Each structure stands twice: as C-alpha cells, then as structure tokens.
C-alpha cells in the first residue's frame, strides 16, 4: 500500500487519459486517507512551506515513521494530495470538449464547466495548487503539465471560435489566460463545496462565453 | 523618518482619496528604501510566513535593531510594503471611473485598465497581497477594505450597465468576482513590468467589456 506507487503518470496524456466515470459532469468527493486528510488541513492552513511533517502527523494521529513509510517525505505527501486533486482534470476537460461536438461555443462553456465542477467539489484541494512552484523539478513539471494541457485546450477552442467569426477576441492568448485565472481563483470564494455547485459551474461557463465575445445572435 | 508615520489611513476613504498625479494613467515605479527592497525580495520568494526578520536584514544589509527601529516587527515591514502597493489603488480607480463619465462601458474599461496599470508596474509587490490573510485583524481589515472598495466600484458599474441594457450579465456578483480574479492573477504572468504594459492594461479593459457581454453595436 505504498501510495507512491498508485500514480500512473500516463493520466496526463490525452491519448491515454481515462475517466473513472463516463460522464464528465459527475465528480465524486475525493476519498482521502486519514494521513491525507490531516495533510490537507495543514497545507491549506499553512502552505507547503509552512507545514512540517510533525504537524501533519499530529493532525492525522499517526506516527512520523508511518508518514515516512507511506509518503517518503513532505513533498511525497503533498504530491499524493495534488494527485487526487488533478488526476482527471484533463480527461474531464477533453470529454467536455468532445461533448461540445463541432461548436466552439459549446466546447468552451463545457470545458469551463468541467474545470469548475471539480474545483467546487473540493476547493481546499485545488487551493493547494499555487504551491506546486515549491516542488522539486520533476514533480513541478508533472503538475504544471496539467495546467499547460488545460491552457492549450482552451486556447485551441478560443482560436477556432475566432477563426469562424463566432468569438470577438483581440488577443486569444491573453483572453485564455484570463479565463484560466478566473477559474483558478474560485477556491478563494469557497472553502467547502457550495450546495448549488452545478449552477455555479454553468454560470462560469456563461461568463467565459461572454469573455470571448460570443453572442447567440452573433 | 519613521516609516510607520508615513501612513495616512485616510487613503482608503473615497471622499479623501487623492492621487499624487492628476492623471490616473500615470503610475510611477514605487521608490523603496533599502530595507523594503530587501523585504520585497524575501517576501516574494518565501511568503510572509516563510520569511524571517533575519532574512530581511541580511538581504537589506542592515542590522536587526535598525529593522525593528523602523518597522517594529515583520508585520510592520510587510505592512509598509503593502502600503506602497495599495495606497492609491482606490483613488486611481475612482478617477478612472469618473473619466468614463456617464458611460458604464467606458467606466468599466477604464477602471480595469487602472487596476492593471499599477499591477503591471510592480507585479512583485501586488503578488504579496494574498498574504494579507496572515496579518493581524486591524491590518488585515485595512487592506481588505481596498479590495472590497474596488469590488463595490466594479459591481456598481456592472449593475448600472446591466440596468441600461448595455451589458448581458446573468449574475453581476459572480461576474464582478471573475473580473477581479482575472486582474488579481496578473502577477502570476509577470515578474517585472512588461515593456508594453499600457497596451496590456488596455487589452484587459477590452476583455472585461467582453466578459460583461458588452458590444459596441449592442
């Protein structure tokens, strides 16, 4: 049960990304081990840098050797949490895009909705992501690839919509960044999953459509 | 030259907010004392929690007693930096709004442009703002009031534009948040002021107009 072995790096590859559920709109609350629950509380409160392994062991009610046995070190614990937070983000986004068929406007709204759904389900886990910058290079690269993947996906849709004259966007790269930033900031507003999270996710899809200058009557 | 005395709390009050320059588009690079330059490097790199006063004293090349004399403690140093970062944000935003006259679409674009200008001029200082949450209540409240002020200002414009049928916004509060989030994330993309920062600021104004569903032909 070494959690370091649970991580297939192939989940970040579009070709092999597979969703646990066939419906990208279905997002389960991540099931966390007691160690990871304690770690989430600690990292959320104090950040990656401010958290000690001792802190996590106290919150989780397990000994330090147990922690080290399962996760190696603090980065191992943080990485295991991020894994839960990010493992199907890309697969979900691709599935959302594909459901949008040939319509860039539907694709965009669905992809943004897919990002929001998983954020709203576990905002505290997504809130850890800025601390990815403190990880060692291989782990940092691995998780940054998820973000880059989502960015490319969105940029492709924005460009396609613009090419077809559906979106009014003067700078696709800057607009795509703004869309991502808007999604990334959501954990600032929610500590727990809000009751009507599906409605919130859809509203963000609508705001994204506005942001690219799409109008149904265009 | 006690820097603790330089801080007039009235700058956060709309009625008394005064810009150093009559033109809100003019933003000077903040002039920092050697202590604050060292502190900016330290806080930017390690965050408020991860930075020690010793760390700052080494980077600034001043003794610890000198640091304590000028700024009291770590929070005092951080507060002095935030002061420089935020002191005319609101005054600038009000001036931008007023220049927009009676047109919500011009007001919105100008206010967003004003926010971006000061962020792009010193992105590393604005990047410190999320750590405001770690401050003691009075300081936290003081700086959060700036953010709340900007949020209210934007929300008022969004609502007015919607009321007049100029903006297509299903949820003004959520849309305003998304606009703010988009602005707040800018320091993630820039470490130094980019050469064409004025153009970038204007583009964000245009993205904001899109985001509220405004079209010139509407």
Q: What Rg do the C-alpha atoms of chain B give, in angstroms?
A: 18
Q: Given the structure tokens 């603090």, which residue do they identify? A: A74
Return the CATH fold of B24-211.
Tetracycline Repressor; domain 2 (1.10.357)
Residue B8 confidence (pLDDT)? 39
Who among A189, A210, A215 is closest to B211 (CB)?
A: A210
Does the beta carbon of B26 lie under 8 angstroms from any beta carbon of chain A? no
Cβ–Cβ gap B174/A203 under 8 Å? yes
The rounded Cα A113 to chain-centroid distance in angstroms is 12
How far is the CA of A199 from the CAs of A133, A187, A206, A210, B153, in angstroms?
32, 16, 11, 17, 26
Query: How many A/B residue pairs have CB atoms within 8 Å?
Result: 79
DSSP states of B155-202 as a string? HHHHHHHHHTTS---S-HHHHHHHHHHHHHTGGGT-SS--TTHHHHHH
Cβ–Cβ gap B204/A174 under 8 Å? yes
Q: What Rg do the C-alpha atoms of chain A give, in angstroms?
A: 18
Tens-digit pLDDT profile for residues B25-41 = 998 888 899 999 999 99
Cβ–Cβ gap B210/A210 under 8 Å? yes
| pLDDT bucket at B82, cuts 50 / 70 / 90 | very high
- Shortest Cα distance, chain B CAs vs residue A60, angstroms: 23
Quick one: what percent of chain B has pLDDT higher than 90? 76
Yes or no: say if B186 and B119 are a contact pair by the CB < 8 Å rule.
yes
| Architecture field, domain A30-87 | Orthogonal Bundle (1.10)
- Give chain B positions within 8 Å (CB) of A126: none
Does the beta carbon of A108 lie under 8 angstroms from any beta carbon of chain B? no
- Shortest Cα distance, chain A CAs vs residue B159, angstroms: 15
pLDDT for residue A182 is more than 60? yes
Does the beta carbon of A211 lie under 8 angstroms from any beta carbon of chain B? yes
Yes or no: say if B43 and B81 are a contact pair by the CB < 8 Å rule.
yes
pLDDT for residue B111 is more than 50? yes
Cβ–Cβ gap A206/B47 under 8 Å? no
Nearest Cα neighbor of B29 from B204, B197, B186, B183 is B197
pLDDT for residue A129 is more than 70? yes
Query: Which ipTM was obtained for this model?
Result: 0.77
Does the beta carbon of A50 lie under 8 angstroms from any beta carbon of chain B? yes
Yes or no: say if B40 and B79 are a contact pair by the CB < 8 Å rule.
no
Cβ–Cβ gap B213/A212 under 8 Å? no
Yes or no: say if B116 and B61 are a contact pair by the CB < 8 Å rule.
no
- Give chain A positions within 8 Å (CB) of B181: 181-182, 184-186, 188
Which tokens go with A153? 């996906």
HSE, CB side, 13 Å, CA atoms: give it for residue A30.
27
Cβ–Cβ gap A210/B168 under 8 Å? yes
Superfamily grouping for domain A88-218: Tetracycline Repressor, domain 2 (1.10.357.10)
Does the beta carbon of B177 lie under 8 angstroms from any beta carbon of chain A? yes
- Give chain A positions within 8 Å (CB) of B210: 168-169, 175, 210-213
Which tokens go with B27? 């933003």
Does the beta carbon of B207 lie under 8 angstroms from any beta carbon of chain A? yes
Rounded mean pLDDT, B47-60: 93
Instruction: Determine the residue of chain A that is closest to B189 in CA distance.
Output: A177
How far apart, in whole angstroms, are the C-alpha atoms of residue B198 and residue B25?
9
pLDDT for residue B10 is more than 50? no
How far apart, in whole angstroms, are the C-alpha atoms of residue B150 and residue A176?
24
- Shortest Cα distance, chain A CAs vs residue B176, angstroms: 10
Mean pLDDT over all residues of chain A?
89
* Length of chain B measured in residues: 218
Does the beta carbon of A210 lie under 8 angstroms from any beta carbon of chain B? yes
- Shortest Cα distance, chain B CAs vs residue A198, angstroms: 14
Which tokens go with A13? 């590859």
Yes or no: say if B184 and B86 are a contact pair by the CB < 8 Å rule.
no
Who among A189, A206, A212 is closest to B177 (CB)?
A: A189
Cβ–Cβ gap A170/B212 under 8 Å? no
pLDDT for residue A15 is more than 80? no
Mean pLDDT over all residues of chain B?
89
Quick one: what percent of chain A has pLDDT higher than 90? 76
Q: Using H for helix, E for strand and C for coil, what is the string for chain A?
A: CCHHHHCCHHHHCHHHCCCCCCCCCCCCCCCCCHHHHHHHHHHHHHHHHHCCHHHHHHHHCCCHHHHHHHHCCHHHHHHHHHHHHHCCHHHHHHHHHHHCCCCHHHHHHHHHHHHHHHHHHCHHHHCCHHHHHHCCHHHHHHHHHHHHHHHHHHHHHHHHHHHCCCCCCCCHHHHHHHHHHHHHCHHHCCCCCCCCHHHHHHHHHHHHHHHCCCCCCC
Q: Where are the domains of chain A?
A: 30-87, 88-218
Rounded mean pLDDT, B68-78: 96
Q: Given the structure tokens 């897919």, which residue do they identify? A: A114
Residue A215 confidence (pLDDT)? 76
Cβ–Cβ gap B210/A168 under 8 Å? yes
- Give chain A positions within 8 Å (CB) of B212: 210
* Length of chain A measured in residues: 218
Nearest Cα neighbor of B175 from A189, A115, A158, A206 is A206
Does the beta carbon of A47 lie under 8 angstroms from any beta carbon of chain B? yes
Among A85-89, A112-116, A130-134, B11-15, the least confident range? B11-15
How far apart, in whole angstroms, are the C-alpha atoms of residue B84 and residue A49?
26
- Give chain A positions within 8 Å (CB) of B204: 174, 178
pLDDT for residue A17 is more than 80? no
Tens-digit pLDDT profile for residues A46-62 = 889 889 999 999 999 99
| pLDDT bucket at B17, cuts 50 / 70 / 90 | low
Tens-digit pLDDT profile for residues B126-154 = 999 988 988 999 999 999 999 999 999 99
Yes or no: say if A7 and A1 are a contact pair by the CB < 8 Å rule.
no
Residue B136 confidence (pLDDT)? 95
Residue B127 confidence (pLDDT)? 92
């Amino acid at each position: 049960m070494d959690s370091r072995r649970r991580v297939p790096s192939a989940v970040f590859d579009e070709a092999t990304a597979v969703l646990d559920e066939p419906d990208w709109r279905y997002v389960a609350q991540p099931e966390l081990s007691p160690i990871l629950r304690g770690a989430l509380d600690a990292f959320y409160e104090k950040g990656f840098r401010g958290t000690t392994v001792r802190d996590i062991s106290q919150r989780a009610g397990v000994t330090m050797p147990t922690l080290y046995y399962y996760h190696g070190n603090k980065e191992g614990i943080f990485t295991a949490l991020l894994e839960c937070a990010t493992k199907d983000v890309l697969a979900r986004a691709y599935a959302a895009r594909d459901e949008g068929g040939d319509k860039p406007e539907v694709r965009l709204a669905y992809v943004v909705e897919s990002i929001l759904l998983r954020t709203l389900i576990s905002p505290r886990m997504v809130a850890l992501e800025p601390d990815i910058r403190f990880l060692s290079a291989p782990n940092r690269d691995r998780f940054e690839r998820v973000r880059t993947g989502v960015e490319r996906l969105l940029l492709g849709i924005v460009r396609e919509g613009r090419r077809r004259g559906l979106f009014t966007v003067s700078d696709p790269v800057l607009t795509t960044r703004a869309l991502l930033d808007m999604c990334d900031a959501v954990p600032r507003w929610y500590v727990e999953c809000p009751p009507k999270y599906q409605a919130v996710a859809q509203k963000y899809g609508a705001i994204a459509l506005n942001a690219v200058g799409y109008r149904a009557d265009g």
